Amino acid sequence: MFIKSVVPQFVKNSRGRRTIEINLKTYEGTFKCSAPSGKSTGKSEVMCWSSKGIDYSMKILNAFCKKLLGRNFIIKKVDDLNALNDLIRKFEARFGKFGGNGWYILEGAFLKAAAADCGKELWKFINDDVNHGLKPKMPMPVGNCIGGGLHSKKIKGKRPDFQEFLLIGKEKKFGRAVTKNIRAYEYAHTLLKGKERSWIIKRNDEGAWRTSLNNEDVLEIMKRVSKRYGLRFGMDVATSSFYKKGHYEYKNKELIRDKVDQIDYIGKLVRKFGLFYIEDPMAEDDFGGFKSLFNNVKKNRKKSLIVGDDLTTTNLERVQRAVRGKSINSLIIKPNQIGSILEVKQVVEYCKKNKIVMVFSHRSGETMDNILADYCVGFGGQFIKAGIHGKERLVKLKRVMDIEKSLS
Ligand code: PGA
Ligand code: ZN
């Protein structure tokens, strides 16, 4: 793979904020990769850009990219990225860190080019390497239907405390599951309009409906919606945003819960509403709290997923701690949380060995890049969390649908 040119440029993400895209030219074509950014980030995530800011990341990325001109890389499998990564590490040691997103866009563009060089789609390039070419099983979509927490502005001073109320497909075909999620999302809008004035209901950062309702009222709506369309549902509690000084500070309704109350409360919600998916229900360092909640939930709902996101941050050590301690049976994989896709690969291998369910996830500030879909299918994720509404979300769902079609 001969490098004709590599140029980083600023582009805007779905929040209208600046992010960086790499444009890599080889004899096979031009390959682009741009990076998403989170808002409710975990403490253990790597910095997304340099600690000196995105402008500094751009400056050093520019200098690094110039050094790549005219080089030849042989990348026949994912681990061959090590040649690039060694160069990045050496460069970072002298000039400072690019940030996780710098790694994400360089590796992403290189992988796309490497796949083309081998005459393969990216998902297949990864699948041939990681899953020995076995026909992949399509993931199911996890879509954000109604939002609260950090991702949603308040309405009349109120919003649900939980960040995301999620619809989860249960179909043989990915495409059919996406259609159902979209219909159910529209039905949720209708139900919300019945509860508050229609002009008030707008979409949040991720395209989910905003509301002033509290968690339980939203869960009632989610239950009706899911029943009508034969879906499963759940939530991203995202406790990091309201866990303060050892307590969970609820605002809607105003209430302080300690750890035991929190386990009890979430356990009750799981039973009452039949929740299938519960992400970050406890504080991000509370491995023990996750374990207690997992035990509580397992008694009644064996198949429900207790999902780590801020708890695990796609970091192998944290994942191992959570899995060995039986704190979770599922986790979020966000490649830019950890930086390198080679570390993601190690997490994937560990999850497979330990039968941990993997949910490949977008970030709340997204771009038009659809690489997440190829990563999810290629690495064998059981779910893809990529929203329901908005062009930056749909482009990823559409990519999975295209892969599905190409396989049938
Ligand atoms: P983020 O949040 O992308 O804003 O970090 C999404 C999530 O918590 O799942
Ligand atoms: Zn989350």
Secondary structure (DSSP) of 96-112 = ----HHHHHHHHHHHHH
Task: Give the separation between CA 311 and CA 28, rounded to whole angstroms.
Answer: 40
Per DSSP, what are the bridge partners of residue 305?
277
State the CB neighbour count (10 A cutoff) for residue 185: 22
High-pLDDT (> 90) share of the chain, %: 94
With 80 as the cut, is the pLDDT of residue 197 above it? no
Beta strands, E only, 299-365: 305-308, 330-333, 357-361
- Measured in Å, residue 40 CA sits from the centre of ligand 1 at 5
The predicted structure's pLDDT at residue 257: 98
Q: Contact, 9 vs 21, CB < 8 A?
A: yes
Write the CB contacts of 253 (distance below 8 Å, at least 6 apart in sequence).
214
Neighbours of ion ligand 2 (CB under 5 A): 236, 309
Q: How far does residue 211's CA lie from ligand 1's centre (Å)?
A: 19
What confidence category does residue 167 fall into, taking pLDDT thresholds of 50, 70 and 90? Answer: very high
Expressed in angstroms and rounded, the spacing between residue 168 Cα and the centre of ligand 1 is 17
Please report the DSSP string for 55-80 in residue order: HHHHHHHHHHHHHHTT-B---SSGGG
User: Do 396 and 141 contact (CB within 8 A), yes or no?
Assistant: no
The residue whose CB lies within 8 Å of the most ligand 1 atoms, and thus the one to mutate among 101, 311, 334, is 334
Q: Name the residue of 44, 361, 385, 393 whose CB sits within 8 Å of the most ligand 1 atoms, as the mutation to test its pocket.
A: 361
Distance (angstroms) between ligand 1 centre and the Cα of 37 equals 8
Measured CA distances, 149 to 83, 165, 392 (Å): 41, 11, 21
Distance CA 105, CA 58 (A): 12
Would residue 71 be called left, alpha or beta, if left means φ above 0 and alpha means ψ between -120 and 50 degrees?
A: beta
State the pLDDT at residue 166.
98
User: Quick one: which atom of ligand 1 is closest to the CA of 163?
Assistant: 8
Residues 265-322 have pLDDT tens digits of 999 999 999 999 999 999 999 999 999 999 999 998 989 999 999 999 999 999 999 9
pLDDT at 377: 98
Residues lining ligand 1, CB < 6 A? 38-41, 236, 238, 309, 361, 363-364
Residue 42 Cα to ligand 1 middle (Å): 9
Report the nearest-CA residue for atom 2 of ligand 1. 40
Q: Which atom of ligand 1 has the smallest separation from the CA of 280?
A: 8
Residue among 19, 40, 312, 372 to mutate when testing ligand 1 (max atoms within 8 A of CB)? 40
In the prediction, which pLDDT does 62 show? 97
Of 364, 385, 392, 396, the one to substitute when testing ligand 1's pocket (max ligand atoms within 8 A of C-beta) is 364
Region 186-202 average pLDDT: 88
The first and second tokens of residue 152, run together, are 């949603």
Sheet holding 18-26, edge to edge: 5-12, 18-26, 29-34
Q: For helices 54-68 and 100-117, give the axis angle rounded to 10 degrees.
A: 30
Centroid of ligand 1 to alpha carbon of 53 (angstroms): 20
Atom of ligand 1 nearest to the CA of 238: 8
Give the model's pLDDT for residue 289: 98
* pTM for this predicted structure: 0.97
For 314, how many CA atoms within 13 A lie in the half-sphere containing its CB?
Answer: 23
Which ligand neighbours the alpha carbon of 311 most closely? 2
> Which residue has its alpha carbon closest to ligand 1 atom 5?
38
d(CA 18, CA 56): 13
Distance between Cα 39 and ligand 1 center (Å): 6
**237 contacts 280 by C-beta, under 8 angstroms:** yes
Strand order in the sheet with 243-244: 243-244, 247-251, 254-257
Reference 245, options 257, 236, 237; nearest CA is: 257
Nearest ligand 1 atom, CA 279 = 9
Of residues 360, 368, 267, 257, the one with CA closest to residue 314: 360
Average pLDDT over all residues of the chain: 96
Angle between helices 100-117 and 371-379 (to 10 degrees): 70
236 alpha carbon – ligand 2 mean position (Å): 6
> Can you tell me which atom of ligand 1 is nearest the CA of 361?
9
pLDDT at 39 over 90: no
3-state secondary structure (DSSP) of residue 165: strand
pLDDT of residue 98 exceeding 80, the answer is: yes
Instruction: Give distance in angstroms: CA of 49 to centre of ligand 2.
Output: 20
Protein residue closest via CA to atom 1 of ligand 1: 38
The DSSP call for residue 365 is: B
| Alpha carbon of 3 to ligand 1 centroid (Å) | 34
Pocket test of ligand 1: the residue of 14, 17, 39, 383 to mutate, having most ligand atoms within 8 Å of its CB, is 39
* Cα 334 to averaged position of ligand 2 atoms, centre (Å): 10
* pLDDT at position 366 over 90: yes
